[in-house]
Chain A
Amino acid sequence: MQSGIESKAFDRFSETCSAVFTDSAAQWKGQGGKVLGYFCSAMPEEIATAAGMLPVRLRATGSDGTELSDSFLSSLNCTFPRHAFNMALKGEYDFVDAMVMFNSCDHIRRVYDHWVRQIKTPYVKIFSLPKKAEAAQIDWFRGELDQLCADLREHFGVELDDAGLAKAIKQHNLTRRLLRRLYDLRKAERPPISGAECLAVTVSSTAMAAADYNEVLEQLLEDLEGSDGLPRPRARLLVMGGELDDPRYLKEIEDQGCLVIADSLCFGSRLFWKDVDENDPDPLQALARYYVADRPSCARMFTEYDKRAAYVREMIRDFDVDGAIFERLTFCEIYGFEQYSMANDFKEWQVPLLCMDREYILGAIGQLRTRVQAFLETMEN
């Protein structure tokens, strides 16, 4: 991705987010390390880190077709799983040693059904992720995580204990704190980093070992903290939605003269807005609580809409946002209904909102540009 940031640290992130089998993963594998792959941000990366494995959130970055997966998934399925499973069938995820899935959505959970039948990953399992965030659900999820830990010990002979988990929680919390520092910079009138660039940084956090990532991110923060800000944009936008891992999508939006200043995205702020409790004597319980209840939730969490709306509203206030874009992958019902409620709330809040459906692979750019242009013009009027 083209960027105005002159920073080796940023270049590293830019490269990392432009591939799935990254240099980091290749190096890791080269040293005999194991990789744990996953799709859904409900996967506690801390467990993989504590087990000495590299957690990699699988994207379909670089995919250019669904010719193989079309025999398994249908044209009514979201294009993210279709591209991702196509890559799996082409062997592009063969570097993954353990594949952990959840019943995240109707499309992804069926990818599991095809994966176990078609792909020879040494360990593949689906875990049950609740759709509510109450005490019983936290306990249930703790049980699921306990099972995952037991499986990893058994399959990979790794040591995985409370001390290791506590240490990993600290490492990942540091990532979260650093990313929040990065977001703080975006509150400025002239932020030093664009929305597209920022997405490259956050996406990379799901593809690199935490310790390594933290080092590079500290370097980037140093580089940015002293730098000049970007020119004042036509509008400061917030982007919200589910799966969005391609900075080029945001770049197309920003090329129309606006700046994406904040987000509520699954590869964005929702990854790090809160910390896991480091003081809980039971780290697995702390992780279960964080991933089910404490972190800003994804739209699949049934009881949490009001909190999600409050989260977006706070962002709008804290980042001085002028308007928002709701991006949704076609056929995603989870974000379809979320969009409906959000659209009603935005009307009530009197904040301009543009709802955009899209495909996983960046396309229909002309239409995207036109709609964003028109949206900016309406806002200016």
Chain B
Amino acid sequence: MNAKQEHSVSRIREEIEMYQPVLEMLEQFPGESGHLQVPILKSLLAQHRRTIECVENDEPFLASQYTNPVEILSAMDIHWYFHLQQMFAGSGTGGGIHIAEDLEAIDDLTLPSDCCTFLRLGLYYQIAGLLPIPTAYLALTEPCDGTSGWHAAFMHHSDWRKVPVFAPDPPYHNDERAVEYYAGEMKRMVDFISEHTGKSLDMERLKQVVEETNKGYALWMEYNEVRRSSPTPHSYIMPMSCFFQINTAGAGDPDKTAWYEDMLADAERRVRDNVPEVPNQKLRFFWYDIQPFYFAEIASWLEQEWGGVIAMDMVSYCPYQLVDTSSEDSIFRGLARRAFQDGPMIHQARGTADNVIDDITRIVRDYNIDVVIFPGHVGHKDMAASASLARQVCRDLGVPFIHLGIDQADRRYMTVEEIKDKLSRFLGAMGLG
């Protein structure tokens, strides 16, 4: 590896160094949840190591968005990494060792500060040379203006300009014509990958992979059903891992299906034996946006201070549809649906606000929600414009609604203390204490 390449994987190496000892410790002392946490860490580390290996050996690999069907990439046997997720690298999902300096660095970009902080961080990592340059790049033009604007700016960087790009274009509607159109985009994506990496798609292999991820999704949905129980079985950490497990490299891996089985069994046991992770549950929250970097601080405070659990969240609530694997056509159509209708943020932000209204209505009822928390990430301009509809639907349902107005990545915008204070005052005023 030359110095530039070495620098591009430095954050990934840091993350490996950070998590390897945690993994070893968990393997030695698994405690109550170790059997569920170990596979997640293994998955993460394996993915990171493979990225480094690709750079080292000059093997083809992709940068991609989480919504581009991972099944296709697995079936084509091409490694990928989610370049926007790199902001987590070396900092941990809690926002750790580098996040403060990174946030300060983005203030110097010639990019308006009202643009989404995640995306500004992404551009900074690119400029700072902290992203391994892939063989080809799969972008996405949704769910928000920021995402497509960011990808367009990203492609323009002098080092990345030579990287071939394909961005599927999700339609705004959900009807069959839209599914057909997006399935076509998926097929064009396959052609693009073949052209630039020399890999080909074996339909039999794709069918196997999809059948395996179908099992994972089915179990995840069952798990979400179990979360309806009161008390709800798990705290916020396990549910947050579901998306990661299904959406990282290695789709089609039976180990991942086994993880879901284990997770479901653990949840069922906790309900049956009445041993929830969070004891003394009094309030059930619906967190309707992605979780901020500092989510752990807020969620555990809600648990301890208010006996509150996140009974459902936006990332978990993606009512995935299983893919019909009976023909090539049905597989592509199914993957298209999964990609442009079901994924987190895509499901809520792409398309009309009916999605927001329907989600809140169904979740408040099905999960017996006491309070809807609408974090209102400053990057989410469409959500800002939907907040009044969300408030109205909550009013109609008779459930308290609080709009926080935070920055999911930058705690300087609204500090954790301010968030806690706002929540305390609201919950107190609602007589929920």
Determine whether A302 belongs to the interface, using a CB cutoff of 8 Å to chain B.
yes
Binding-face segment, B90-98, B108-116, B302-310: B108-116
Alpha-carbon distance between A300 and B167 when the two chains are bound, in angstroms: 13
Binding-face segment, B36-44, B69-77, B142-150, B233-241: B142-150
Determine whether A160 belongs to the interface, using a CB cutoff of 8 Å to chain B.
no
In the complex, which residues of chain A have a beta carbon less than 8 angstroms from the beta carbon of B379?
333
Knowing A106-B144, A106-B145, the reply to whether A336 touches B115 (Cβ < 8 A) is yes
In the complex, which residues of chain A have a beta carbon less than 8 angstroms from the beta carbon of B376?
74, 76
- A337–B146 touching, CB < 8 Å: yes
- B115–A355 touching, CB < 8 Å: no
Determine whether A339 belongs to the interface, using a CB cutoff of 8 Å to chain B.
yes
Which chain A residue shows the least CB distance to B165?
Answer: A303
- A305–B152 touching, CB < 8 Å: yes
Binding-face segment, B22-30, B181-189, B315-323: B181-189
- A128–B173 touching, CB < 8 Å: yes
- B152–A330 touching, CB < 8 Å: no
Nearest-CB distance from A145 to chain B (Å)? 13
In the complex, which residues of chain B have a beta carbon less than 8 angstroms from the beta carbon of A337?
111, 115, 119, 146, 149-150, 152-153
- A136–B181 touching, CB < 8 Å: yes
Contact with B along A289-316 (1 / 0, CB 8 A): 0000000000110110100000000000
Name, among B109, B169, B188, B387, the residue most crowded by chain A CB atoms within 10 Å (CB to CB). B169
Which of A117, A331, A355 has a CB less than 8 Å from the CB of B110? A355
Alpha-carbon distance between A336 and B113 when the two chains are bound, in angstroms: 9
Q: Chain A: interface secondary structure?
A: helix
- B388–A330 touching, CB < 8 Å: no
Nearest-CB distance from A96 to chain B (Å)? 20
In the complex, which residues of chain B have a beta carbon less than 8 angstroms from the beta carbon of A328?
112
- B353–A334 touching, CB < 8 Å: no
Alpha-carbon distance between A187 and B144 when the two chains are bound, in angstroms: 38
Which of A72, A132, A330, A334 has a CB less than 8 Å from the CB of B145? A334
In the complex, which residues of chain A have a beta carbon less than 8 angstroms from the beta carbon of B151?
302
Knowing A113-B386, A333-B149, the reply to whether A340 touches B352 (Cβ < 8 A) is no
Alpha-carbon distance between A114 and B116 when the two chains are bound, in angstroms: 24
Knowing A132-B167, A337-B149, A339-B112, the reply to whether A110 touches B172 (Cβ < 8 A) is no
Nearest-CB distance from A379 to chain B (Å)? 18
- A330–B352 touching, CB < 8 Å: no
- B145–A340 touching, CB < 8 Å: no
Nearest-CB distance from B67 to chain A (Å)? 14
In the complex, which residues of chain B have a beta carbon less than 8 angstroms from the beta carbon of A127?
172
- A110–B353 touching, CB < 8 Å: yes
Determine whether B378 belongs to the interface, using a CB cutoff of 8 Å to chain A.
yes
Determine whether A130 belongs to the interface, using a CB cutoff of 8 Å to chain B.
yes
Alpha-carbon distance between A132 and B188 when the two chains are bound, in angstroms: 13
In the complex, which residues of chain B have a beta carbon less than 8 angstroms from the beta carbon of A72?
385, 388
Determine whether B389 belongs to the interface, using a CB cutoff of 8 Å to chain A.
yes
- A132–B141 touching, CB < 8 Å: yes
- A74–B384 touching, CB < 8 Å: yes
Which of B139, B169, B353 has a CB less than 8 Å from the CB of A137? B169
Determine whether A230 belongs to the interface, using a CB cutoff of 8 Å to chain B.
no
Name, among A103, A126, A328, A339, the residue most crowded by chain B CB atoms within 10 Å (CB to CB). A103
- B114–A330 touching, CB < 8 Å: yes
- A128–B178 touching, CB < 8 Å: yes
Nearest-CB distance from A291 to chain B (Å)? 15
Which chain B residue shows the least CB distance to A308?
Answer: B152
Determine whether A109 belongs to the interface, using a CB cutoff of 8 Å to chain B.
yes
Contact with B along A236-260 (1 / 0, CB 8 A): 0000000000000000000000000
Total interface residues in chain B, CB < 8 Å: 49
- B386–A76 touching, CB < 8 Å: no
Which of B109, B119, B141, B181 has a CB less than 8 Å from the CB of A302? B141
- B381–A333 touching, CB < 8 Å: yes
Alpha-carbon distance between A136 and B187 when the two chains are bound, in angstroms: 12
Determine whether A39 belongs to the interface, using a CB cutoff of 8 Å to chain B.
no
Which of A78, A111, A113 has a CB less than 8 Å from the CB of B389? A113
Determine whether A180 belongs to the interface, using a CB cutoff of 8 Å to chain B.
no
Contact with A along B360-386 (1 / 0, CB 8 A): 000000000000000010110110111
- B141–A128 touching, CB < 8 Å: no
Contact with B along A116-155 (1 / 0, CB 8 A): 0100000000111111100011001001000000000000
Alpha-carbon distance between A303 and B168 when the two chains are bound, in angstroms: 11
- B381–A106 touching, CB < 8 Å: yes
Nearest-CB distance from A345 to chain B (Å)? 8
Determine whether A59 belongs to the interface, using a CB cutoff of 8 Å to chain B.
no
Knowing A300-B145, A338-B149, the reply to whether A305 touches B382 (Cβ < 8 A) is no
In the complex, which residues of chain A have a beta carbon less than 8 angstroms from the beta carbon of B146?
333, 336-337
Name, among B151, B172, B173, the residue most crowded by chain A CB atoms within 10 Å (CB to CB). B172
Determine whether B123 belongs to the interface, using a CB cutoff of 8 Å to chain A.
yes
Knowing A331-B114, A337-B149, the reply to whether A130 touches B169 (Cβ < 8 A) is yes
Which chain B residue shows the least CB distance to A304?
Answer: B152
- B171–A140 touching, CB < 8 Å: yes
Nearest-CB distance from A130 to chain B (Å)? 5
- A302–B114 touching, CB < 8 Å: no
Interface residues of B in 55-109 (CB under 8 A from A): 109
Determine whether B416 belongs to the interface, using a CB cutoff of 8 Å to chain A.
no
- A143–B177 touching, CB < 8 Å: yes
Alpha-carbon distance between A30 and B158 when the two chains are bound, in angstroms: 57
Knowing A143-B177, A337-B152, the reply to whether A302 touches B381 (Cβ < 8 A) is no
Question: Given A127-B172, A128-B173, 12 more contacts at CB 8 Å?
Answer: A72-B385, A73-B385, A74-B385, A76-B114, A113-B354, A131-B148, A131-B169, A300-B148, A305-B152, A333-B146, A340-B109, A340-B110
Top 6 nearest A-B pairs (CB, nearest first) are A337-B149, A110-B385, A128-B172, A113-B353, A74-B384, A131-B141
Q: Can you list 25 A-B pairs, Cβ within 8 angstroms, ordered by A?
A: A74-B387, A76-B114, A77-B384, A106-B381, A109-B382, A110-B385, A110-B386, A113-B354, A113-B389, A131-B142, A131-B148, A143-B177, A302-B151, A330-B112, A331-B381, A333-B144, A333-B145, A334-B148, A337-B119, A337-B150, A338-B149, A339-B110, A339-B111, A340-B110, A355-B110
Which positions in B face A, CB cutoff 8 Å? 109-112, 114-116, 119, 123, 139, 141-142, 144-146, 148-153, 155-156, 167, 169, 171-173, 177-178, 181, 184-185, 188, 349, 352-354, 376, 378-379, 381-382, 384-389
